[in-house]
Structure 1
Amino acid sequence: MIHADKEKYKDILEDSVTYLEQHGFENIKVDSEGYETPKSYSKKGSDISITPDIVATKEGKKHYFDISLKSAAPKLLKSKWLFLNTLTALKSSHFRLITTRGHYKFTAEMLDDINLNNKKLIKI
């Protein structure tokens, strides 16, 4: 989810955290008020900053989650997903996308566009 949509979809973010807690994830950090914020990554020589929506651990492995919702800036969302996918591959972590009803097709098309169609979605 891009930063501009954070306030609009706060309830979906809360539902995602609840889902992860129920499935055994611990040390959950969320890019939202009231939670510890995950580490941000900045592009050198630019003011662009990328923060994963949710970071959690399960069985000693770190998992990065991003909420996939229809967006007015799909190019920005695609670059965020590519960065997080690369980051998790380098760190031997996991990257998953969380989506909700009404956003499945949008998410699948976006993943096809950037050749990440092997990613399994968490559908809430």
Structure 2
Amino acid sequence: MIQIEKKDNAAFFKESVNYLENLGFENIKADVEGYETPKSYIKQDGDVKITPDITATKSARKYYFEIGLKSDKPRLLKSKWRFIDVLSRMNDHRFRIITTKGHYKFTNDVLNDLNLHKTLIKL
């Protein structure tokens, strides 16, 4: 989810964090009130700032979670997901997408455009 849309979808964001807590994830960092913000990455030649939606650890392995909801700016979302996918593969971490009813097709279309084969976490 891109930064502009986070305020509009705060309820789903908190539901996702609660779901991850119930699965046993620890050290959860989320870009929502009450949680520490995950580490941001800034593009070297510009002012583009990429912050993963949620990061957590489980069994000494780091996970990046992105919220897959319909977006008015799919190109920005694709570049964010591509960057996080490359970052997670480079450091041997895991990258997962969380989505909900009504957003499956959009999320799958974005993943197909990026040639990413991810199993969605459906809430």
- Give the counterpart letter for 1:119 in structure 2: K
Say whether residues 1:56 and 2:52 are aligned partners.
no
Percent of residue pairs bearing the same amino acid type: 56
**TM-score of the superposition, structure 1-length normalised?**
0.98
RMSD of equivalent CA atoms: 0.5
Aligned residue for 2:29? 29
TM-score (norm 2): 0.99
Structure 1 position 45, deviation (Å)? 1.6
**Structure 1 stretches of 5 or more lacking a match?**
none
- Residue correspondences, number: 123
Question: Per the alignment, in what secondary structure is the counterpart of residue 63 of structure 1?
Answer: strand
- The correspondence of residues 65-80 of structure 1 with structure 2, limited to 5 A, is 65-80=65-80
Gapped regions of structure 2 (runs ≥ 5)? none
Which residue is 1:123 aligned to?
Answer: 122
> Which is further off, 53-62 or 25-34?
25-34
Contact 2:88–2:94 under 8 Å retained in 1: yes
| Matching residue's letter, 1:107 | T
Aligned to 1:81: 81
- Partners of 1:44 and 1:32 in 2: CA distance: 26
CA distance in 2, matches of 1:46, 1:32: 25
Q: Say if 2:5 is the partner of 1:12.
A: no
Which 10-residue stretch deviates more, 31-40 or 67-76?
31-40
1:81-100 Cα shifts (integer Å, max 9, x gaps): 00000000011000000000
Q: Which runs of 4+ in 1 moved over 6 A?
A: none
The residue type equivalent to 1:10 in the other structure is A
